[in-house]
Structure 1
Amino acid sequence: MEIIIGIIVIFVAIIIFGKLKGAPDPASMPDIALMQRLQSEEAWITRYLGLPYENRQSVSLKKMYEEKTAYIEQIKLEIVKRQKAFEAIQAEPLKQDSLLPESPNFAITEKALSAAEAGDVEAQLLVGSAYLAGSNGLPQDLQKAGQYLIKAAEQNHAFASFIVAGLYLEGMGLPQDIDKARMWAFKAKALGHPDADQMLLAIDVKRSI
């Protein structure tokens, strides 16, 4: 009985705090804070549903449950919105072919291949991107793309690390591995890639599905 009373007291405190502070607009929250808020709200729902039935009939608790359920849906919609925007940004370089020479030329690719094999990080990124897009005289080959991009990422190239995280996340050319995707996304962030936080958000969403 004391345990139940203790739980109810906690819920009452949460209700009072929630009324005083208010719930922030999901659209105004940073990616990491958004995921943390989602986890916090879902944890509250789990605790509420774990209460005995008669204790869940409190008018204030039931109202808060309804508000939090609606708020969770708002957060999830915002996450989906950001994920779609992120996917569009991620695909844009391939659509524009921005990583490749303005005039695709097979001789340039041959030089890039030689340089990539010799360990040139920019050439590795160029060749890997060409295989990924099927451009610049090379056929689309996701496995080869993954091989060259990993070589560039291992040399601490921020954008290559970012792309490798995406390949592991989606299982494109590399075996799908959420943990490796997260590892490379963290490396991209450490190296200063501006979209690394969005990649980490996409990974967290994928992990929660």
Structure 2
Amino acid sequence: MGMFDSLLVEHNGRTLEVQTKRFENMLYSYRVGDWICGAPPGVVAYFDILRLDADGQRVYGPQATSVPAYTLLVVLAHGVFVDSEIRDGEMDPEAISQALMQRREAWQDSARLLGFLVEQLRLKQQRLRNYDRVLGAAQMAIKHVQDSRAGQRPERERRFFGSLHPEIKRLDDGEDPLTVIASILAPPESDRPFLNDPPQDPLADYRL
């Protein structure tokens, strides 16, 4: 197929990778909220027909006729991937045209688009803060190992840091440094609630 880009869309709890040659074809992957390199200006909508097996994997070729069909609808607004929807069945051309028009019109609402962009900016800033904290914890663990091996970390100070940071205590207990550092870097953000901001209450401004 050569070079392409991928749109990552959610369907029945799974993430599907939908390949496209419509943009810059640099093997980039985009999720909702991402700015797409090479996307056209304005609000545009696209579709694709997907054939998915029972495991949610795409099926191509002659075998595709034996698995269910789905219609993917995608919207980009000023280069930002703002929306996607997967509908059951292969929609006919008239229905696809109507659905694309409706979604374009919906995202031409400036208030809706601005609200979406602001929320995506907040989420991306939160992710960046999380990444900074994770990298900081990894750097602290590496420095702790280096100082300990060089005899530059007194026992009292080691106990103090271990009481504040479980990863440091694991290192002092003799756990392999690579295993500890990998555990700091590997878990997804959802498994590290202490790195995330407190959950936002969407009704906070309206509570007495």
Normalised by the size of structure 1, how large is the TM-score? 0.29
Compare the two structures and name the one with the higher strand fraction. Answer: 2
Compare the two structures and name the one with the higher helix fraction. Answer: 1
Normalised by the size of structure 2, how large is the TM-score? 0.29
